[in-house]
Amino acid sequence: MKIARFSTEGDPRYGIVDGDDLVVLSGDPMFSGFDTTGERVPLDSVKLLAPVIPRSKVVAVGLNYVDPEEESAEATPETPVLFLKPNTSIVGPGDAIQIPPVDGRIVHEGELAIVIGRVAKQVKAANYADYVFGYTIANDVSARDVMFSDGQWARAKGYDTFCPIGPVIETELDAGNLEITTFVDGEPRRSGNTKDMIHTIAEIIEFASDVWTLLPGDIILTGSPAGLGGFVDGQTVDITIEGIGTLSNPARNRQ
């Protein structure tokens, strides 16, 4: 089922997508289950929010798809390359990506995101599904030239608004063979399939949970297919993953 977090000019609420409506839930389904209130709200009357706000962290995996232009051994890491993005980088569907006043390119990276549903520590790959609440779409926005000038990724990938997610969480999804496509103002930029990940979802959860305790609501970005990635003020980035939907965000220069 698809779970949305939304507002109607009040506190955030949760609902199950049912056609053109949301069936309103009594609380956060990750902690309160799927009890409904009996209320239905038209989807076109609400503002969709980021479907989850990570309690502690966004874990991301770099270099997880083979780049056909890279043939060196370094392009295929033996273990997942992990980094963190702060939870303050999260924004929801339709929210603007705020471009900071830095030199160089700002790039999009459309990715499948895992939403962790329970405390996970030293999870075995065979049991990974027990810890997954569902999946959503993420855009791992990066200030690419800042990455190179800093020599590490924390600042370049950690700016506020640099992790749009949404539009919903899909709780029933076979994530092993999903098309991922990214467009900027309707122009195709990146495309790929989750079956081409170097490290699988099971391997990523096992590896990441050996490093950090993963908390309910934490998310893991699983990497981006290769492709052309730049965008500028005034453009809109659309990322579609089959079975989930489309995450759309405009870009604006930060004031």
Domain 58-253 homologous superfamily, CATH: Fumarylacetoacetase-like, C-terminal domain (3.90.850.10)
pLDDT score at 72: 45
Pinpoint the residues of the chain covered by CATH 3.90.850.10.
Answer: 58-253
The length of the chain is 255
Give span(s): CATH 2.30.30, the chain. 2-48
Tens-digit pLDDT profile for residues 155-196? 999 999 999 999 999 999 999 999 999 999 999 999 999 999
Q: What is the pLDDT of residues 202-213, one digit of tens each?
A: 999 999 999 999
Q: What is the pTM of this model?
A: 0.96
Residue 9: what pLDDT? 85
Each residue's pLDDT tens digit, 236-255: 999 999 999 999 999 999 98
> What is the overall mean pLDDT for the chain?
95
Section 99-114 average pLDDT: 97
Q: Provide, rounded to the nearest whole percent, the portion of the chain with pLDDT above 70.
A: 97
pLDDT at 70: 53
pLDDT in tens, 128-153: 999 999 999 999 999 999 999 999 99
User: Span 2-48: which CATH code?
Assistant: 2.30.30
Which one has a higher pLDDT value, 105 or 10?
Answer: 105
Structure tokens, 103: 């030199």
The burial of 69, by beta-carbon neighbours within 10 Å (0-12 exposed, 13-18 middle, 19 or more buried), is given as exposed
